[in-house]
Structure 1
Amino acid sequence: MSSSAVEAEVVIVGAGIAGLATALALRRAGVGGGVLVLERHAELRATGAALTIFPSGWFALRALGVAHKLMSRYDAYETFQVTNLENGATQVFRFAGRKNSGEIKARPADRKALLEALAEELPPGTIRFSSKLVSINSETAGDGSPDTSVLRLDDGTVIRAKVLIGCDGVYSVVARWLGLSEPVTCGRSAVRGLAVYPGGHGMKKELRQFLTAGLRASMVPISETEVYWFLVNNTVAAAEKEAGADPAKILREVTDNLGARMPAEYLDVVRHSDHKSVSWAPLLYRSPWAILTGPVARGAVTVAGDAFHPMTPDLAQGGCSALEDAVVLARALSRAATPAEGVAAYVSERRGRAAWLVAGAYLSGWVQQGGIDAHGLRGHIVKLFRDLIFYRFIFPKLADTLWYDCGDLLPTPSRSKDKGKKHSE
């Protein structure tokens, strides 16, 4: 086992959407000093296959200077269809009927393409792969200087950082060190996959969703040859344990059991899945109250993305909110006198929106699937609420929040005159 010591101004744990976006945001905002991104895998990961980037995400990508690289590759979607398989009724909804901002619209995107678009803007050597964080300690200087975070990796490397940002996902080591409550299951799970049609799928470019008791499924073309799909189910522990991480078993469970009542066109998409893209996992979230009141920061240590506010995918804001975090955090650090003040400003700005998105996503998913284990009269009431009230009156309000603009990254005049200044100076 090798052992070495590394000094870094800013260390970001995790090279997912939040980590790469934060590294790029810091660079764009003119925050001086070296930025090091630690990624435990040997290469960029594409877990989740694809995602829908709503306007909130595109505003952030525009601030990061990479929106143009992706917009030209993916078609915009302004509406989506929801079909109730129990009564055959189909409703068409707009993502945000009162909003209009040119090219800033909802677009599906390949997750790996997004990661690559962010990563290629970073200087060589910014990302350190095969670097798993195993412990964190805080070192206090005797002269009153800010605390230093001392990180130990599994290969024995010790890294000392002035600023530490955990972008290491739902099971974040940094969030656990800060003392944030552990994420909990919402009682639902999601199967995700990417279908590939080498000769072209010929489908209409629209987002389609299907609902039935305890299930919500969706499919959306992201290119001429690829279709992203998912199926959210009330957790079936025995079946999920049996299928494990075996793509063939997962797909068989979807086509033969869980999704047996889905339309033939949806099942055809499932059967065309690239096995490497298939996953089945519980949907976790951190309670909005914990986000509003929990220890999201300690000095110059904080978290972003899923490490901060894991949420269910029912508003498709996991990736978008991570991009927002990156912009707000970098801007706050660029304008603050000390790293700790910048982190505090970031947490203050993000707590409310993050808690709202987590709560909105949970409500949206629970209602659309007819409630978790809601049977009989209670289940009937939930479905009536969904079909007559939620989609007509509540969903449009939730959709409007997807047009949130987190602002730009322009450094303050004093900072722009000294882009090389370090926070520790």
Structure 2
Amino acid sequence: MQPEEAAGEVVIVGAGLAGLATALGLHRKGVRSMVLESSPALRVSGFAFTAWKNAFRALDALGVGDKIRKQHLQAHALRIMSSTTGKMAEEVDLAVQGKGRDSLLQALVEELPRGTIRYSSKIVSIEEGGQGTILQLADGSVLRAKVLIGCDGINSVVARWLGLAKPSDSGRVAARGLAHFPGGHGFEPKFLQFIGRGFRSGMRPCNETDIYWFFTWTPTENDKGVPNSASKMKQFILTNLRSLKVPPDALSVIERSEMNDDVLAVPLRFRSPLSLVTAYICKGNVCVTGDALHPMTPDLAQGGCSALEDAVVLARCLGKAILLEESGRRGGTEKQGIEAGLSEYAGLRRWRSIELITTAYAVGFIQQSSNVIISFLREKFLSGFLARRLLKMAEYDCGTLWS
């Protein structure tokens, strides 16, 4: 084993959206951090990121909101189409921007001090130590951290160490893609959704040339072998959408889309909201954020937005605690100050996380259901309620780094 290496005040595991935003928030507060990323470079794979109002409040708090606004298209409305009748079930006004996940990560990295991210650094074990948490890395090196923040996604090593419940399978699967129209797609800046009959699909413009889309379903014995090639997956999706009275221009988006043969479809998982009622979101000097804390189904498009909320709240609470300790104004030990800051963060994020997970699951279940009674209620009453509920979740204000 290599000799132990002292880390900075804060070690963040994962250079995804949650990790980079947390690092930037702490940097704005004057607190140094080290971000450990298991990959050899920044992972910018993925499709689109939907930035609702709550996300831009967080981005503004981090000082990058205006930078993001200038780059990407704003959607003006959410239009929900019934797959049963082929008619519009609901349309609501909104202000939401679509952007590439890669450009958002790059924007955050550009604001961080050089050397903040340490690549090819995979954690294999975590141990409690007298003066901090001891991290054993895959390359044999050992780090001691005063604070450890797990931003390492749904399969989080840090969440497992804290004892958080293993994410559950929702029974649903999602396929995603990106269609490119070099001459312009001509679609209105609206978020279009098709719901019902056991499927849920949607698409929205990211800019003038690219459209992001998704398709979710509950797999049966008959289609378990479908997602083994991009061509078969496309045909499966198109066959189902054609049976749902989806207009031809929407089908054309799927037909000309790019799909990754390595990730054609993924199971939709979530952490039981009941498990978070009494769970340890933080323990001592360790906590989790983003998908490591509240993995949810994507039916609210709030995964990335809520990760940004986490980052601002955590940076505010932890940064305040560390700065008070450094100035000698808090009293007590440094360890007690850090634990108090993390405890404050956990108290603020616990019920927000529970609400997000529960609402996302309920929205997806109701919108996708083929049950006759649920379908009737959805067509007559629930579509508008669910759309308004989605917008209400986006009204959340995480505050600033100083409030």
Return the TM-score normalized by structure 2. 0.90
2:23 & 2:218 partners in 1: Cα distance? 37
Question: What is the alpha-carbon distance in structure 1 between the residues aligned to residue 11 and residue 146 of structure 2?
Answer: 8
1:148 maps onto 2:132 in alignment: yes
Q: Give the corresponding residue for 1:111.
A: 101
1:18-63 deviations in whole A, cap 9, x for unaligned?
00000001111223xx311111122222343102111010100000
- Residue from 145, 151, 161 that aligns with 1:161: 145
Q: Which amino acid aligns with 2:12?
A: I
**Residue of structure 1 in register with 2:290 after alignment:** 305
In 2 relative to 1, CA 179–204 (structure 1 residues): closer, same or farther, beyond 3 Å? same
Give how far 1:272 is off: 1.9
Q: State yes or no: 1:217 paired with 2:201.
A: yes
Specify the SS of the correspondent of 1:288: coil
Counterpart in the other structure of 1:417: none
Deviations, residues 285-326 of structure 1 (Å, cap 9, x unaligned): 111111221111110100000000001111111000000000
Q: Deviations over 1:252-296 (max 9, x none)?
A: 432345766443322321222223496410111111111221111
Contact 1:60 1:407 in 2 (8 A): yes
User: What residue in structure 2 maps to residue 75 of structure 1?
Assistant: 73
Specify which of 313, 316, 340 is matched with residue 328 of structure 1: 313
How far apart, in 2, do the equivalents of 1:274 and 1:214 lie?
24
Structure-1 residue corresponding to 2:333: none
Match of 2:391 in 1: 399
Preserved contact between residue 189 and residue 282 of structure 1 (Cα < 8 Å) = yes
Distance 1:164 1:222, change over 3 A: same
> Residue type of the partner of 1:218?
G
- 2:400 corresponds, among 393, 402, 408, to 408
Deviation, 1:196, is: 1.3
Q: 1:252 to 1:398 in 2, by over 3 A?
A: closer
1:138-287 to structure 2, matched below 5 A, reads: 138-140=128-130, 147-236=131-220, 239-240=223-224, 243-244=227-228, 246-256=229-239, 261=244, 262-276=246-260, 279-287=264-272
- Unaligned runs of 5+ residues in structure 1 are 97-104, 141-146, 412-425
Alignment CA distance shift 1:6-1:235 (3 Å): farther
Once residues 52 and 398 of structure 2 are traced to their aligned partners in structure 1, the CA distance between those partners, rounded to angstroms, is 13
Matched, 1:35 2:29: no
Counterpart mapping for 1:82-97 below 5 A: 82-94=80-92
Give the distance between the partners of 1:248 and 1:25, measured in 2 at CA: 43
Distance between the aligned counterparts of 1:134 and 1:184, measured in 2?
23
Native 8 Å contact 1:95 1:399 kept in 2: no
Which whole-Å CA distance do the structure 2 matches of 1:80 and 1:52 have between them? 12
Matches of 2:222 and 2:316 in 1, distance apart?
46
Code of the residue aligned with 1:161 in structure 2: it is: A
SS at match of 1:409: coil
Report which stretch shifted further, 246-255 or 118-127. Answer: 246-255
Q: How far apart are 1:363 and its partner, in Å?
A: 0.7
- AA of the residue aligned to 2:139: D
How far, CA to CA, are the matches of 1:387 and 1:247 in structure 2? 33
Contact 1:48 1:111 in 2 (8 A): yes
Q: CA deviation at 1:232?
A: 1.1
Q: Does 2:348 correspond to 1:349?
A: yes
Aligned-pair RMSD on alpha carbons? 2.2
Q: 1:407 to 1:85 in 2, by over 3 A?
A: same
Partner AA of 1:113 in structure 2: S
| Shift in alpha-carbon separation, 1:225–1:3, aligned structure 2, 3 A | farther
Query: Which position in structure 2 is the counterpart of 1:13?
Result: 13
> Residues 25 and 259 from structure 1, CA distance in 2 versus in 1: closer, same or farther, beyond 3 angstroms?
farther
Distance 1:259 1:89, change over 3 A: closer
CA shift in 2, pair 1:204/1:397, >3 Å: closer
Residue of structure 2 aligned with 1:125, choices 112, 115, 118: 115
Does the aligned pair in 2 maintain the 1:189–1:234 contact within 8 Å?
yes
- The separation in 2 between residues aligned to 1:270 and 1:63, in whole angstroms, is 37
d(CA) in 1 for partners of 2:128, 2:215: 43
2-side partners of 1:226 and 1:241: how far apart?
29
Change in 2 beyond 3 A, CA 1:268/1:398: closer
Question: Where in structure 2 are there 5+ consecutive unaligned residues?
Answer: 322-329, 331-336
Indicate how the Cα distance of structure 1 residues 84 and 335 shifts in structure 2: closer, same or farther if over 3 A, else same.
same
Q: Measure how far apart 1:8 and its partner are.
A: 2.4
Alpha-carbon distance, 1:181 to partner: 0.4
1:314 to 293, 299, 305: 299
Q: TM-score, normalised by structure 1?
A: 0.86
Whole-Å separation in 1 of the counterparts to 2:224 and 2:112: 39
Equivalent-residue separation in structure 1 for 2:62 and 2:221 (angstroms): 41
SS at match of 1:211: strand
Q: Is the 8 A contact 1:297 1:303 kept in 2?
A: yes
In the alignment, the residues of structure 1 paired with residue 251 and residue 240 of structure 2 have an alpha-carbon distance, to the nearest angstrom, of 11
Go from structure 1 to structure 2 and tell me whether the alpha carbon gap of 1:259 and 1:148 turns closer, same or farther (over 3 Å shift). farther
Instruction: Kindly indicate whether the alpha-carbon contact (under 8 Å) linking 2:76 and 2:189 is maintained by their aligned counterparts in 1.
Output: no
Q: C-alpha separation between the residues in 2 aligned to 1:359 and 1:166?
A: 22
Change (3 A) 1:410 1:74: same
Relative to structure 1, is the Cα distance of residues 314 and 368 closer, same or farther in structure 2, using a 3 angstrom cutoff?
A: same
